[in-house]
Amino acid sequence: MSNRVAIVGATGLVGQAILRILEQRSFPVEELIPLASERSVGKSIRFNDQDYEVMVLDDFNFENIDFSFFSAGSSVSRIFAPKAANAGSVVIDNTSEFRYDDQIPLIVPEVNAHALENFRKNNIIANPNCSTIQMLVALNPIHKAAKISSINVCTYQSISGAGRMMLNEYDRQVSDPKYPQQEENCFAHNVIPQIGSFENNGYSLEEMKMVWETHKIFDDKNIEVNPTAVRVPVRYGHSEAISIITENHLSVGKVRALLSDSNGIQLMHDDESYPMPIKEGEGTDDVYVGRIRADLNHSNGINLWVVADNIRKGAALNSIQIAETILESNY
């Protein structure tokens, strides 16, 4: 069975990655419709050795579209995703617009594919935040085996997570001999402990996303999640230092065995070999885990280091895996 597929935000970083991954994974596409704003009128994209002209989203009718991938920002999804869903298209949304709606499933296929069961009530599925995805892929085998009660996580998030414009600005700053004079946003050679606006509790929106999404995906609001999200001068690949406490004791050896046997995880066994964004964080599909060690102060504590490609597994690939799961399971 082939599908008519629309990509909203086809010219952006995530949209371009969706196109590449659909091609690489031989997703059954009968017809491709790339959609974007009027700024992209006249542009074309290449898919499976064919050129497709980018169409204007405002004028598009989603009838007879099987899957619609949305990656053009929350404001766009707010208006057009319900229109596509009401027209019968399965909407997989990469923005934060629907993540915290109790009626919309928030899916990481390796973790909670079962939550897709009733998605057709609204025909919209939310893709989680990039940092949440890689964290929960890594932690899910441990949670199933020993029940995690507490998560402390520091994220080191690449510039590409802020979008193409910020990535271009970062590249400009790196090559600018006058940097950082008169710069408002100093990304190059800098570490910024804020991603998103600050909430009333002092945590950034990015940090609270990890709290809310962990509770929803693991279906457990009792898990204590304490995040710090940091922007770092890396082009691609998010890294995370994670410390967890489990209700039941697991040895480091048992944790390694659990992760080794899990889909979507690459475990780096050697204590002197660990994942880094420059190697494992760009152009990769798995979540890479290393530096697994027992907590020095808690008998049920485990520390680990996690790296993944934030544009692929953190967004585009996860979306396509959701679509593949729907096709395979006949939901």
- Same domain as 146, residue 89: no
Give the pLDDT of residue 177.
Answer: 85
Are residues 121 and 135 part of one domain?
no
Q: Are 266 and 223 part of one and the same domain?
A: yes
Compute the distance between CA of residue 104 and CA of residue 304 in angstroms, rounded to an integer.
Answer: 31
Model confidence at 272, pLDDT cuts 50, 70, 90, reads confident
Same-domain status, 237 and 292: yes
What is the structure's pLDDT at 182? 67
Structural domain of 124:
3-128+315-329
- Segment among 53-62, 127-136, 175-184, 238-247 with least mean pLDDT: 175-184
Q: Which of 143, 186, 238, 249 is catalytic?
A: 238
CATH of the domain at 105: 3.40.50.720
The pLDDT assigned to 49 comes to 92
Confidence of residue 303 (pLDDT cuts 50, 70, 90): very high
Mean pLDDT of the chain, nearest integer = 95
Across 212-236, average pLDDT: 98
Residues 270 and 287 in one domain: yes
Say if residue 288 is in the same domain as residue 159.
Answer: yes
79-96 burial, b if ≥16 CB within 10 A, otherwise e?
Answer: ebbbebbebebbbbbbbb
Q: How confident is the model at residue 298 (pLDDT cuts 50, 70, 90)?
A: very high
What pLDDT does 40 receive?
81
Distance spanning both ends of the chain, measured CA to CA: 14
CATH code, domain carrying 223? 3.30.360.10
User: What percentage of residues in the chain have a pLDDT greater than 90?
Assistant: 91
Find the helix packing angle between 130-146 and 252-260, rounded to 10°: 120
Whole-number pLDDT of residue 181 = 75
Whether 92 and 139 share a structural domain: no
Is 238 one of the catalytic residues?
A: yes
Same domain, 150 and 246: yes
Q: Is the pLDDT of residue 176 over 80?
A: yes
Is 66 in contact with 84 (CB distance < 8 Å)?
no
- Which range has the worst mean pLDDT, 73-77, 270-274, 286-290? 270-274
State pLDDT tens for residues 275-291: 999 999 999 999 999 99
182-193: average pLDDT: 86
167-204 as b/e: b if 16+ CB within 10 A? bebbeebeeeeebeeeeeeebbeeeeeebeeeeeeebb
Encoded tokens for 238: 């998010």
Answer yes or no: do 89 and 156 share one domain.
no
Looking at the fold, whether 153 and 49 belong to one and the same domain comes out as no
CA pair distance 207, 255, nearest whole angstrom = 26
The confidence score (pLDDT) of residue 184 equals 72
How far, in Å, CA of 167 to CA of 148, rounded?
Answer: 35
**Within this chain, do residues 137 and 229 fall inside the same structural domain, yes or no?**
yes
> 190 pLDDT band (50/70/90 cuts)?
very high
Domain count of the fold of the chain: 2
Averaged pLDDT, 214-227: 98
Is residue 323's pLDDT more than 90?
A: yes
Claim to verify: residue 103 and residue 176 sit in the same structural domain = no
Across the range 303-327, mean pLDDT stands at 98
The whole-model pTM stands at 0.95
pLDDT at 100 over 70: yes
Average pLDDT over residues 175-199: 88
